[in-house]
Amino acid sequence: MSASDDFQKFQGTPGYIASGPLVDAVNCAIALERPLLIKGEPGTGKTLLARHVAAGLGMPMESWHVKSTSKAADGLYVYDTVQRLNDARFGDGDVSDIRRYIRLGPLGRVFAAEQRHVLLIDEIDKADLEFPNDLLLELDEMRFTIPETGDEVRARQRPVVLITSNNEKELPDAFLRRCVFHFIEFPDRELMKRIVDVHHPNLEEQLLDQVLIKFYWLREQSELRKKPSTSELVDWISALLRSGISREQLDAHIPFVGALLKTEQDSEALDTYRERGGKLPTRWSDLGPRYNQ
């Protein structure tokens, strides 16, 4: 049973630092031909992953951004009745051919494509409660029929399906059973350093330490309504670098805090903390044991 090497493997790309378990989960989903469901805090790179999986595997990518009004059928195809009616009225083109008015949705396009695709179904939890259930059959069998024409759209190459969820709604069990699941944990210190390095190479080691200490400390503050995430950290470092701030300046306060804290209450909470004489950490040992293993 040398089934171990007959599928394409994802190994990460230079622009995306994926943890070992995440790489394994992606490969597991590819090998099992099941969709990979990815959850995790906002800003941990769920959507970005799909793009890099596509790049890593050398496949084109199609994304389907789900909205609260999205219906499962939209992903398969849309039958533009109004256009047909209009053409019938004004005599533009051949209205007897329904196929001209059927436009495939993202899922349909991926199925119909010659090449194997990576399909991203982004934020599946935004849609109606039953949305995932309506896609079960299509994702299982990778085919569907268009009743208007009787055509069957069948995937020539089983696409690699990545699905992201922000936990806004519980997903149905039947749907979950078919998925491989990965929860993107918030990156720890070492991984975070590698991630920052991708975006800001050649950052001075001590400056980076200071930045990360402040960042993780902020995340530890339970009063915060919205914890700063990786993407915000990267933005913040950009701001710091552009203003040419030195490591010493970072010791005493947090400049451009607006890049990290996005609600008024959070900024106020930090101000009150400072007014009361609260200290900012400057060493890893000022943070909890989690950061000092």
Partner 1 sequence: MFLDLFFGLREAGVPVGLQEWQGLMTALEKSLHGQSLTRFYYLARACLVKSESFFDAYDRVFAKVFHGVEGALDVTEELLEWLRDPKNRAELTPEQREMLERLSRDELMRRFLETLEKQDGRHDGGGRWIGTGGHSPYGHGGEHPTGIRVGGQGRNRSAMKVWEQRRFRDYRTDATLDLRQWKVALRRLRHLTRDGVASELDLDETIDETCRNAGEIELVFRPPRRNNVRLLLLMDVGGTMDPYFEPMSRLVTALREEHGLRELRAYYFHNCIYDRVYRNAYLLREESVPTAELFRTLDERWKVMIVGDAAMHPAELLEPNGNIDPREETPTPGIRWLMRILEHFERVVWLNPDQPASWSSTHTTRVVEKLFPMFHLSVDGLSEAVAALVGARKAA
Amino acid at 123: E
Q: 31 or 73: whose CB is closer to partner 1? A: 31
Contact 260, 228 (CB under 8 A): yes
Contact 234, 200 (CB under 8 A): yes
173 lies in the site for partner 1, by CB under 8 A: yes
204 lies in the site for partner 1, by CB under 8 A: no
- For partner 1, which stretch binds (CB under 8 A), given 153-161, 168-176, 247-255, 272-280? 168-176
SS3 sequence of 15-67: CECCCHHHHHHHHHHHHHCCCEEEEECCCCCHHHHHHHHHHHHCCCEEEEECC
- Within residues 52-81, the interface with partner 1 by CB under 8 A covers 68, 81
Amino acid at 5: D
CB within 8 Å of 130: residues ≥ 6 apart: 172
21 lies in the site for partner 1, by CB under 8 A: yes
- Within residues 120-149, the interface with partner 1 by CB under 8 A covers 129
Query: Which position among 31, 98, 245, 287 is part of the footprint of partner 1 (CB under 8 A)?
Result: 31
C-alpha 60/C-alpha 51 separation (Å) is: 9
191 lies in the site for partner 1, by CB under 8 A: yes
9 lies in the site for partner 1, by CB under 8 A: yes
Q: Which residues bind partner 1 (CB under 8 A)?
A: 1-5, 7, 9, 11-12, 17-21, 23-25, 27-29, 31-32, 34, 37, 39, 68, 81-82, 85-86, 89, 129, 168-170, 172-173, 176-183, 185, 190-191, 293
